[in-house]
Structure 1
Amino acid sequence: MSNKIQYLLLYLILVFAFSLRIYGISWDSGNHLHPDERAIILSVLGLRFPTSIESFLSPESSWNTHFFAYGSFPFYLLKILGDIASIFDPSLSGYDGIQLVGRFISSIFDVGTVLVLFFLGKKLKGERVGLLAAFFYAISVLPIQLSHFYAVDTPLTFFITLTLLLLIRFYEKPTLLRSLLVGIFFGFALATKISAIVITATIGITLTIDFLLIFLKRPHRLDVWGPHLPPFTKRLLKDAIIFIVATIFTYLILSPYTFIDFLSFQRQTAEQSAMTKNAFTFPYTLQYVGKTPYFYELKNIFLYGIGPLLAAVCFVGLIIFLLEMVKKYRSIDFAKHTILIVFFIAYFGVVGGFAIGFMRYMLPLYPLLCLFGSVLIYKLLTIFPPRPQNGSIKQFPKEQQ
């Protein structure tokens, strides 16, 4: 496939994805019917940038969201872009119009995820897999729905997917710039929602997988893996320090009151943690009393989040992806597969085990599920190539990876 055709198809997918996400953006006729969106907007409307360093550094600062169930970045982003939009229409920074700005931002982030997913699929399996994955995510039900609300789920999914792509690029060629980019966008993810902390498991495996493969090859042979230990340790410390510094610095800029108003952050985080363990914590979580962990999430993804047909393709694709990973053991492709699978298992293992089960909590897994589904379809096309009209069979070409 030529680059011209490839990017034309990608452009059409992005336009289609955006049209699905922007259509009906004023679905509630300005009545603020989404509770999380309403809570964010009410907090944003009270934000004022401080006039002095002293007031900025105070927990009572007018720039403090006083809302730590989410990170502060989505609040500041909406405030800044709402003020910019108000230059053209004053209502877009007020209660009656700012939700439209937020929903537009949410749509853009989710279309951004479509774009990042294309590059992730292309990096792993080639351009056709990238295009299929992007298309599958573009038409998935839950991402389209959540793009019509301004909450944290679409930006969180974008930053997590981008961080995974950057981790794979870093693994291929560990440069200073790539280390910094991973840390920066991981910081963005954390400043959107603290649940992004799960990515640390993926960062850990990215940094250690090469040495682990050498060690597991002959764990009892110190003479085999021992010489690799000093240079590995040196590189590990260097890259880990870069990741940590870039992440903390980014998070500090985007969510400063986590540190300045740490007591409020600690208290609200403890409340959210208690909610994930006990569905009786708040009235609005009583609906999840008796929830069956993991099965409940899988059922919702299958029936409602992606839809039965595409979800079946995605879950079978996950099995194929795992089998390919095992088959490519000790290769660079094995490492790339492992980076994604470790995140998938870690995130599903943690969030799927919650006592509560809001469907949106699983959104960061949807891009990977669509990627797995595209791997299956591509595999089927290589095994059963389309038959041209003249009756001869034409082999579906393999991609350059």
Structure 2
Amino acid sequence: MKKNYVILALILIIVLFTFSSINIITWGLPKEIDLNSYHPDESAIFKSIKSMNPQEYDFNPKVFIYPSLYPYTVAVVLKISSLVKFITITSSQSFYETHSWELAKIFLIGRLVTLFFGIGCIIFTFLIGKRLYHWSVGLISALFLSIIPTFIIHSSLIKVDVPAAFWALVSIYFTLRIIKSNSFYNYLFAGLSAGFAAATKYNAVLCIIPLFVVHFQKYWKSHSFFKVIFHRFLIYASIMTLVGYFIGNPYSFFDLDRFFLDITNEMTRVHTGHMGFDINPAGFIYNYYIFEFLAVFPFMLGFPIYLTSLGGILLSTWYDWKKSIIILSFLAPYIIILGSWRVAFARYYIPLIPIFVIFSSLFIYYLFISVKKRKSKLLAISGLLLILIYMFAFTGSLILNFSNDPKDLANEWINLNVPENDTIGIFLMWSFTPPINQSKYNLILVQNQTYDTLKSSNPDYLVLSSTKYLISYRDKNQFNESYHFYNQLRTGKLNYKLIKKFESDYFNQELYQKLDPMFESYYLLPDIEIYKKENLNISIEKFNLRNIHGGYCDLQLRIKLLQCK
């Protein structure tokens, strides 16, 4: 295939990816009634940026849950945007309360920064697939990556996962160049990029492993083990990894106490649980690694790409293990480490998505070239088309929900149907519930999900996000009290009646939800249920106190509930 056609195809893939991201780029931006975005973690990046004081040459983010390279990158772009008068940056929150669109533009720019990293991931996925196997593998890999919903979603938010994937891919690309070239610069760039990856997300440092694999493959036959280990190119690459990390996250060295405190807290969180999002060992998914392979990966990739990627891993290991082991050396340790965690959101695995799609594309490529019969080639082409049809249906239907977010639909309904100044009880503020106008309604935050709390607050309406009750349903042991409360509320046993429900919907939703992936739909696109208080007239018809013996009381109550018309 001519080079120009390949480039044109890659450009079209990038255009498709960018178009798919539009719904999410503008989703849940800050507005006058709520200055938070809909993603609960986006503010963490701005918290890091706000902690810096460039006028005093203080670039300490003072938060090390995430390394600082990505906040630095966003901060630079925001500063440039401010200099050209596109945005207004001020420390005054009251300014943004009356100029919420200015804050929305700041979030929009941050999301666009991530989008460019996403485009970079597509380009380097193509380059890796092309260099390691064939241009068609690279092109199909780029296409698959551009239509995977988890990748599209997080390429459109202010999060570190996609930028970390980008730097990991850059490192792997320069690592692959070492196979056919002895250039010293490939080692330097591979090491530097790995350092940048670690300075974006700590566990992305695992992308340095393929460099060691390629180096050993290249020199182990001609050099002694000692000379291979202490080869000057490998030493320089290791030094550049440290340099890249230091450039991107310098205060992890200068502010060690805070750094170790944040890292310790984060490790405790992922190993012991976080707000109920942890994997329930008492449930049907009893092993974290089984959870990865049965729930996370099928949803993250879509069933067709996931299954063909497993086939690609098997075939490539059988036919050309030296090549497959290079990128598997990044994928396997990553899965092993994250599989030991109790909290493992789908987005944590985003740096692995390009590797999976390369193996998926390789499976189709092997199927196409390994047989000469025309029927078999047609089978490979048909398989590719079926994968694309499924993924377009799955991804398209999922992404469309972002332009019809249940939270927004619920908020519109409340404004039209709930009388002004009525009391609305909500179980969770911020990103998980509709942005209800607090100047129009009296809001009550029901923090402890018990009937006693509800009786004391006694709101006219209740707004419930599926984020809350799904957590309780997933782990009835840990959240026993709230589970029983939600179960009573949702089955009509309390004096509240469900009057409206807003749900997200996407292709094959029921199957994926049965697999229970820790997917962002649990909190990015939760279902919203609205309940109205029923006025009840309670009369006691009979009250008997009998059989008092040894401190034992037998109470017989019969209560008649008459709904007021």
- Given the two structures, how large is their TM-score scaled by the length of structure 1? 0.82
Between the two proteins, what is the percent identity of the paired residues?
A: 25
Task: Give the match for residue 279 of structure 2.
Answer: 288
Task: Give the match for residue 268 of structure 1.
Answer: 262
Task: Give the match for residue 363 of structure 2.
Answer: 376
Pick aligned residue for 1:316 from 308, 311, 316: 311
Q: Distance in 1 between matches of 2:180 and 2:299?
A: 36
Question: How many angstroms does 1:161 deviate by?
Answer: 1.4
String of CA shifts for 1:285-323, please: whole Å, max 9, x gaps.
554342621221223344421211222222222221222
User: For 1:22-101, what aligned pairs fall within 5 Å after superposition?
Assistant: 22-30=22-30, 31-51=36-56, 56=57, 61=58, 63-86=59-82, 87-91=84-88, 95-101=103-109
2:29 and 2:107 in contact (8 A); partners too? no
String of CA shifts for 1:309-362, please: whole Å, max 9, x gaps.
222222222221222234xxxxxxx2x322111111111111122121111111
2:331 and 2:352 in contact (8 A); partners too? yes
Secondary structure at 2:157 match in 1: coil
The structure with the greater share of residues assigned to strand is 2
Q: Distance in 2 between matches of 1:119 and 1:200?
A: 18
Secondary structure at 2:42 match in 1: helix
Asked if residue 304 in structure 1 is aligned to residue 311 in structure 2, the reply is no
String of CA shifts for 1:101-154, please: whole Å, max 9, x gaps.
111111111111110010111101111111001001111111011112111000
2:173 and 2:190 in contact (8 A); partners too? no
2:145 and 2:354 in contact (8 A); partners too? yes
Pick aligned residue for 1:205 from 205, 208, 213: 213
2:288 and 2:340 in contact (8 A); partners too? yes
* AA aligned opposite 1:75: P
Distance 1:300 1:191, change over 3 A: same
Distance 1:248 1:303, change over 3 A: closer
* AA aligned opposite 1:345: A
Task: Give the match for residue 159 of structure 1.
Answer: 167
Q: Distance in 2 between matches of 1:285 and 1:169?
A: 44
2:204 and 2:351 in contact (8 A); partners too? no
String of CA shifts for 1:207-262, please: whole Å, max 9, x gaps.
223455x4xxxxxxxxxxxx7318x6167431232112212222222211011101
Task: Give the match for residue 224 of structure 1.
Answer: none
The CA RMSD measured in Å over matched residues stands at: 2.6
User: How many residue pairs end up in the alignment?
Assistant: 358
Asked if residue 134 in structure 1 is aligned to residue 142 in structure 2, the reply is yes
Question: How many angstroms does 1:384 deviate by?
Answer: 5.5
Q: Distance in 2 between matches of 1:248 and 1:132?
A: 34
String of CA shifts for 1:173-228, please: whole Å, max 9, x gaps.
2322111101211111011011123234333323223455x4xxxxxxxxxxxx73
2:51 and 2:62 in contact (8 A); partners too? no
The structure with the greater share of residues assigned to helix is 1
Higher RCO, 1 vs 2 (CA within 8 Å, ≥6 residues apart): 1
1:45 and 1:95 in contact (8 A); partners too? no
Distance 1:205 1:125, change over 3 A: closer
2:179 and 2:218 in contact (8 A); partners too? no
1:91 and 1:97 in contact (8 A); partners too? no
Secondary structure at 1:90 match in 2: coil
Asked if residue 247 in structure 1 is aligned to residue 241 in structure 2, the reply is yes
Q: Quick check: 39-48 or 366-375, which moved more?
A: 39-48
Question: How many angstroms does 1:81 deviate by?
Answer: 0.4
1:146 and 1:360 in contact (8 A); partners too? yes
User: For 1:98-117, what aligned pairs fall within 5 Å after superposition?
Assistant: 98-117=106-125
Distance 1:151 1:10, change over 3 A: same
**Unaligned 5+ runs, structure 1:** 215-226, 327-333, 397-401
Distance 1:148 1:278, change over 3 A: same
Q: Distance in 1 between matches of 2:10 and 2:373?
A: 22
Q: Quick check: 259-268 or 18-27, which moved more?
A: 18-27
Secondary structure at 2:320 match in 1: helix
Secondary structure at 2:62 match in 1: coil
1:109 and 1:154 in contact (8 A); partners too? yes
1:92 and 1:101 in contact (8 A); partners too? no
* AA aligned opposite 1:197: V
Distance 1:92 1:112, change over 3 A: farther
